Structure 1
C-alpha cells in the first residue's frame, strides 16, 4: 500500500510589528520589526507552527533579516 502526502500550503502571518531604524535594500522604503508565525499544513491538517522575529519592509513586504 502506498500513501502520498503533499504539502498543501505554508502561510506566514505578522502577529505584531513596530517601526525599526533603517531602510529596505530593495525598494528604499522604511522597515519594521515583526513577530512572525509560520504555519505549515500537510493534507489540510495543521502539522507545524513556528514563531520567529524578522525585519520586514513596510512597503514591499520582503524579509530583510530573521532572528530565531
Structure 2
C-alpha cells in the first residue's frame, strides 16, 4: 500500500476581470477571478491547476455556473 502525504496547498490569484451579468442574490456586479492552485509533495511542486471563479463584488458570494 502506498500513502501519499500532501504537505502544502497554495492558491494564488493570477488576475481579476469584470464579467457580464448581475448577481442573482443582490443584483451587484459579477467579477471573474483566475486562481492557480498548486500542491506540493514534500516542498516539491507536484500538481498545478488554473481555474476561473466568479463572485459578486457587492456581497462577496462565490457564484457557481450551472449548464
User: What TM-score, normalized to structure 1?
Assistant: 0.60
Runs of 4+ in 1 over 3 A off after TM superposition: 2-5, 28-31, 57-62
Match in the other structure for 1:55? 54
- Secondary structure of 1:7's counterpart equals coil
Q: What is the root-mean-square deviation of aligned Cα atoms in Å?
A: 2.8
Match in the other structure for 1:11? 10
Q: Which runs of 5+ in 1 are unaligned?
A: none
Match in the other structure for 1:22? 22
**Matched pairs, number:** 62
Structure with more strand by fraction: 1
